[in-house]
Chain A
């Protein structure tokens, strides 16, 4: 059992052995925030991920791309173990996060989810005011006085580039904001809990191009302070926002490495076909 897993991960291990100088060296030298080793995932008896291995670099943006149904969402949903909401879903393998395997039993899920925040495809404001949306995570995880709470809410909204647009609407329901604002509200809400990693599952696929541009800009700003993993089906977006890219196909990581490398000089035929739009 363990043997096959190691074998498989070795076969698919995304080691890019091209010497394009400086940046390729940087890829290996940078510390990893998350290290995935031999990750298998099952929906009931149906296997969706096959022995995947991946490094997520600290304070960098990693894009996960690949055709629909290839396991992108499944993969990032293991990082905060949100899949456990559903009783027939199961992950095996290892995901190392600060010296701990988060898939091991005994992981404090509440703290894990504070440290690894998640933004979903559909903006999902909580049914409460803009202020309370942001305060939600703060109240969950920290003891704060009223004024400290207000300060942190303001700070999170500023970091999510939303403060100027909502500072007079703090008492309005979060649902009253526009779609793009709602998505940045979700980002601000995640940021407020002081996470280290932010997962985004196709965060722009339900919003318009202008709002998308704002979020991409925001991702660039946030990447100096947070490790970001973004799933996207939009390759231009991956190329624009990410430092690293992992290309998934049918539950396996075909290729992963520097975004420039993946897009300009893919090592595998499948990657090249996908990048050049030969299938999608």
Chain B
């Protein structure tokens, strides 16, 4: 724009000011709408938490964490095996999903970038991200349960990893993309090979965000039920070894979500009570981890 087309104060065309009052009203309106939407979300969340705590707190005692579910119509017992099982299933899913997701993200943000392969991977990741979680269960069923002729915790972990993978890839890529290009250039300008600049400088500078992404991706699948329906199923027994009938690779593995699903539809009052307790444990673990991670890693950002 050159000086003579710019409407300055000396311009022949008078400048009409816009209405300040009108802008103020619009500003108020938009602010209140945003506030209302946020408040509604918090309200629903609060309602769920209050309900789950109210109904579940009665089930929480020492036995709940240490004992197996009661047989038949017996009273007492707990969800100990389910808690252990959920931790193991989720942990093993993380062992598969997190490294692949991490290196995938590193590839996308540092090497593939806008290339054709990277674009394809990104598209696939987005598609998988939108796949209903029950499809992940069916997938693991088709590749592991059907050919091996038995359910297993391993198949459950694979299904969970299938959901975790795109979540991790996307989140980690977003974090890596926040690293300024100047840092990349500085590392390479020192004569560092590409991989060394990537791992030693770029990943390192994004580490807080990457840890956050990892934890959130893991926690994200901890509450999944559908992927376990045809894979890990559930079981009232403690996980025992690897290949036996109650081993990780050998048979169904107890877990919280599927047990909640089963018990909440049971006619027995005390099983329903245990289901509420299980829901409380999951919600506290998931919400607690989320809040904690954000507090620890996003401070000062």
Residues of A within 8 A of B (CB): 80, 82, 85, 87, 109-114, 117-118, 120-122, 124, 126-128, 136-137, 140-141, 186, 189-190, 193
Measured CA separation A140–B187 after assembly (Å): 11
* B266 shortest CB reach to chain A, Å: 53
Measured CA separation A154–B192 after assembly (Å): 21
- Chain B residues with CB under 8 Å of A113's CB are 188-191
* A84 shortest CB reach to chain B, Å: 9
One of B181, B185, B192, B201 near A127 (C-beta < 8 A): B201
* A128 shortest CB reach to chain B, Å: 7
Find the B residue at minimum CB distance from A199.
B189
One of B115, B186, B200 near A120 (C-beta < 8 A): B186
- Chain B residues with CB under 8 Å of A80's CB are 189
State the main secondary structure of chain B at its contact with A: helix
Measured CA separation A250–B189 after assembly (Å): 26
Q: Determine whether the beta carbon of B182 is less than 8 Å from that of A124.
A: yes
Q: Determine whether the beta carbon of B185 is less than 8 Å from that of A85.
A: yes
Interchain residue pairs with CB less than 8 A apart (18): A85-B181, A85-B184, A85-B185, A87-B113, A87-B114, A110-B192, A114-B191, A118-B185, A120-B189, A126-B187, A126-B200, A126-B205, A127-B204, A128-B204, A137-B190, A141-B191, A190-B189, A193-B190
Q: Determine whether the beta carbon of A136 is less than 8 Å from that of B190.
A: yes
B193 interface residue, CB < 8 Å from A?
Answer: yes
- Chain A residues with CB under 8 Å of B115's CB are 87
- Chain A residues with CB under 8 Å of B189's CB are 80, 82, 113, 117-118, 120, 190
One of A85, A124, A128, A193 near B191 (C-beta < 8 A): A193
- Chain B residues with CB under 8 Å of A124's CB are 180, 182-183, 186
- List which B53-92 residues lie within 8 A (CB) of chain A: none
| Given A82-B188, A110-B193, A118-B185, 4 more pairs with CB closer than 8 A | A110-B191, A113-B189, A136-B200, A140-B192
Measured CA separation A117–B190 after assembly (Å): 6
- Chain B residues with CB under 8 Å of A121's CB are 182
Q: Contact residue range for chain B?
A: 20 to 34
B146 interface residue, CB < 8 Å from A?
Answer: no
Residues of B within 8 A of A (CB): 113-115, 180-193, 196, 200-201, 204-205, 207
Q: Determine whether the beta carbon of A120 is less than 8 Å from that of B185.
A: yes
Measured CA separation A141–B196 after assembly (Å): 12
Q: Determine whether the beta carbon of B183 is less than 8 Å from that of A85.
A: no
Q: Determine whether the beta carbon of B191 is less than 8 Å from that of A122.
A: no
A122-B182 in contact given A85-B188, A114-B191, A127-B201 (Cβ < 8 Å): yes
One of A85, A127, A190 near B190 (C-beta < 8 A): A190
A126-B183 in contact given A113-B188, A113-B190 (Cβ < 8 Å): yes
Which 5 pairs, one residue from A and one from B, show the smallest C-beta to C-beta distance?
A: A113-B191, A127-B205, A114-B191, A118-B189, A124-B186
Measured CA separation A189–B191 after assembly (Å): 12
* A150 shortest CB reach to chain B, Å: 19
- Chain B residues with CB under 8 Å of A186's CB are 186
- Chain A residues with CB under 8 Å of B186's CB are 118, 120, 124, 126, 186
Measured CA separation A80–B113 after assembly (Å): 22
Measured CA separation A237–B190 after assembly (Å): 26
Measured CA separation A123–B191 after assembly (Å): 18
- Chain A residues with CB under 8 Å of B187's CB are 126
Measured CA separation A137–B248 after assembly (Å): 47
Measured CA separation A80–B188 after assembly (Å): 10
Q: Determine whether the beta carbon of A137 is less than 8 Å from that of B185.
A: no
Measured CA separation A253–B192 after assembly (Å): 31
Find the B residue at minimum CB distance from A122.
B182
Find the B residue at minimum CB distance from A77.
B185
Measured CA separation A124–B186 after assembly (Å): 7
* A122 shortest CB reach to chain B, Å: 5
Measured CA separation A80–B193 after assembly (Å): 14
Measured CA separation A111–B115 after assembly (Å): 28
Measured CA separation A110–B186 after assembly (Å): 13
- Chain B residues with CB under 8 Å of A189's CB are 190
- Chain A residues with CB under 8 Å of B113's CB are 87
- Chain A residues with CB under 8 Å of B190's CB are 113-114, 117, 136-137, 140, 189-190, 193
Measured CA separation A124–B183 after assembly (Å): 6
* B114 shortest CB reach to chain A, Å: 8
